[in-house]
Amino acid sequence: VSAHTVGILGGMGPAAGADFVRLFVAACAEVLRARGLPVVDQAFPMHWLVQAPVPDRTAALQDPNAAQPLAPMIHALGALRSQGVGTVAIACNTAHAWHPQLRAAHPGLRILHAMEEVAETLQAAGTPVVGLLATEGTYRTGVYQEALSRRGILCAVPDSAGRDLLMDGIYQGVKAGNLPKATMLFERVARALVAKHRLSTVILGCTEIPLALSPQALPGVTLLDAANLLARRLAACAYGSPGPA
Amino acid sequence: VSAHTVGILGGMGPAAGADFVRLFVAACAEVLRARGLPVVDQAFPMHWLVQAPVPDRTAALQDPNAAQPLAPMIHALGALRSQGVGTVAIACNTAHAWHPQLRAAHPGLRILHAMEEVAETLQAAGTPVVGLLATEGTYRTGVYQEALSRRGILCAVPDSAGRDLLMDGIYQGVKAGNLPKATMLFERVARALVAKHRLSTVILGCTEIPLALSPQALPGVTLLDAANLLARRLAACAYGSPGPA
C-alpha cells in the first residue's frame, strides 16, 4: 500500500487531538477495506501528531492584546514539515481563523480546511439550512457562515446566552475533564437551536463537542462532526496525492 | 506550569497509539488536578506522537529472516529526539523486546519500560501471582516474566491454544477493526486463565487488548493495563525531571 506522510496539528485541546487521531485511524481502515486491502499496521500511512500548548484561540480573537496562537502554530507546522509531512489537518475549528496566515507561512504544505469540508458535504447532500455549535471565536470570525453562504446554505446559531453555555461546556466541561457537565450543556443548547429553527442537520463545529454530545441525544437530527469529516479527508489525502493541492 | 516535551512511539498498531495519547492526556489532567492547577490547554506538555508503519513485532521475533522493526523504530525515535523530546513511551508491549537496542542507539533519550512499570506496581501492591495476556512475541521473549520474577512474582500464561486465540483477537479483531470478535476471544481466554489459577490480577500486556476487554467482563479481577501505567509514567516525567534518567 502506497501512502504519504501526513500530520495533525493538535493540542487545542489535547483530548480533542487524541480523538482526532482515533478518527483518522478509523478513516484509514475504511479506505483499506473499501479497496479490499488487509487492515494491518503496515498498511497505515506514517502520521504525526503534535500537541502544542498554544494560547487560547477564542481569547486571542476577542482581544488582540491577548497571547496569540499564530506564531506557535506556524512553528509546529514547520516541525511537521521537517518530518516529511505533505498534508496537515488542524484539530481545532477555531484555529481555522488563521488558515490564510498559516497557508501563507507554509506554501509547500497542503493545509486542509474544516469549514470547506463541511460546506462541501452539506452542498452534496442538498441541505438548505444547518445549525452550528461552535466556540465564540468560531462564531465571531464567521468562518463557517462564509463557507456556507458561498454555497447558498443558511446557518442558524444559538443566541448569546446559548453561546455562553457552549463555552462553559467546552472549557469547564470537556477541556477540564468534566464530561457530564459538558453533555448537559451541549444537549440543552442543541435542542433549543433545533426546535427554534426546525433543523434536521447540526454541525458540531468544535472538536471538543462530539466528545460529549452523542447522536442519541437528538433523535432524527443529523450531527455533522467537522473533525470526523476532516479526518476522513486527511485519510483520503494520505492514500491519494502527496500534496500540496 | 513547567513541563517537558515528551514523545510516543506508536503505530503498533495505530488504534492503540491513538488510545495511548488519550490515556496520556487523561493522566496529565490528573497530575494538574492533584496539584490544584487549572486543567486548560496551555497547562499540557508539548507532546509528539509518531505512528510509524513498522514491520510486525511478533513475526520478527518468531523468524529472524522476517522484516525487522528495529531500524525503523530507531529512526522514529531519532525523529522524536530532533523535536526536543527527552522522554519516550513505546505504545507496544511486544516492541519492548528491542528496548536494550533502542536504548543503546539513543543514550540521550529516556525510554520508559512498560514491564518495569507493571512489575513495580504489582510489587507495591504485594501481588504474589498474576496472569498475563499478551502477544506470542511478548510471551516468547519473556520480557514480563523476567521483570516479574526479579521481584518474586509468579506469572501465569495461557496455554498454546489460548495464545492462538489472543493472537486472533489482536490481529483479526482489534487491528482489523472487528472489536466484537476481539472481545469474545479476549474474554474467553481471560476467564479460563483466571479460573485455572484462581487469579485476582491480570496484566493487559498488549496495547490492543484494553481496546476490546473491559473490567466488567471479569468481575472481582483487577485488570492492570500496561498502556495506562506507561501513560501515567510519561505524564509524571513530562511534569517532572527532563530525562534521561
Q: What is the pLDDT of residue B2?
A: 83
| Predicted confidence (pLDDT) at residue A118 exceeds the cutoff of 70 | yes
- Beta pairing, strands B47-51 & A47-51: antiparallel
Cross-chain residue pair A175–B56, CB shorter than 8 Å:
no
| Predicted confidence (pLDDT) at residue B245 exceeds the cutoff of 50 | no
The number of helix segments (H) and strand segments (E) in chain A equals 10, 8
pLDDT digits (tens, 9 = 90+) for B1-21: 789 999 999 999 999 999 999
Mean pLDDT, residues B190-209 taken together: 97
Mean of the per-residue pLDDT values of chain B: 96
pLDDT digits (tens, 9 = 90+) for A101-111: 999 999 999 99
Q: What is the pLDDT of residue B151?
A: 97
Confidence band of B241 (pLDDT split at 50, 70, 90): low
Between CA A211 and CA A217, with CA A215 as vertex, the angle to 5 degrees is 95
Q: A28 with A232: CB under 8 angstroms?
A: no
Mean pLDDT, residues B99-105 taken together: 98
Q: What percent of chain B has pLDDT over 70?
A: 98
Distance from CA of B32 to the nearest CA of A (A): 10
A243 against A146, higher pLDDT: A146
Q: What is the pLDDT of residue A243?
A: 52
Kindly list the distances between the CA atom of residue A108 and the CA atoms of A5, A117, A243, in Å, as whole numbers in the listed order. Answer: 14, 20, 8
pLDDT digits (tens, 9 = 90+) for A169-207: 999 999 998 999 999 999 999 999 999 999 999 999 999
Q: What is the pLDDT of residue B242?
A: 54
| Predicted confidence (pLDDT) at residue A245 exceeds the cutoff of 80 | no
Q: What percent of chain A has pLDDT over 90?
A: 96
ipTM for the whole complex: 0.94
Distance from CA of A64 to the nearest CA of B (A): 18
Q: Using an 8 Å CB-CB cutoff, list chain A residues near B82.
A: 82
Mean pLDDT, residues B174-202 taken together: 96
Chain pair A-B, CB pairs under 8 angstroms: 133
| Total residue count of chain A as it appears in this document | 245
| Predicted confidence (pLDDT) at residue A232 exceeds the cutoff of 50 | yes
Please return the burial class of B224, using the count of CB atoms within 10 Å of its CB with bins 0-12, 13-18 and 19+.
buried
Q: B87 with B6: CB under 8 angstroms?
A: yes
Cβ–Cβ contacts within 10 Å for residue A175, how many? 25
- Beta pairing, strands B47-51 & B110-111: unpaired
pLDDT digits (tens, 9 = 90+) for A53-92: 999 999 999 999 999 999 999 999 999 999 999 999 999 9
Mean pLDDT, residues B19-37 taken together: 96
Cross-chain residue pair B48–A53, CB shorter than 8 Å:
no
Q: Looking at A129-133, B68-72, B218-222, B241-245, which range is the least confident one?
A: B241-245
Mutation pick from B51, B58, B170, B228 vs chain A, by most beta carbons of A within 10 Å, is B51
Q: What is the pLDDT of residue B159?
A: 97
Q: Kindly state the DSSP code that residue B83 receives in the 8-state scheme.
A: T
Q: How far is CA B107 from the centre of its chain?
A: 21
Cross-chain residue pair A11–B175, CB shorter than 8 Å:
no
Mean of the per-residue pLDDT values of chain A: 96
Q: Kindly state the DSSP code that residue B54 receives in the 8-state scheme.
A: P
Kindly list the distances between the CA atom of residue B245 and the CA atoms of B49, B91, B97, in Å, as whole numbers in the listed order. Answer: 21, 19, 20
Cross-chain residue pair A22–B18, CB shorter than 8 Å:
yes
Q: What is the pLDDT of residue A2?
A: 83
Q: What is the pLDDT of residue B1?
A: 74
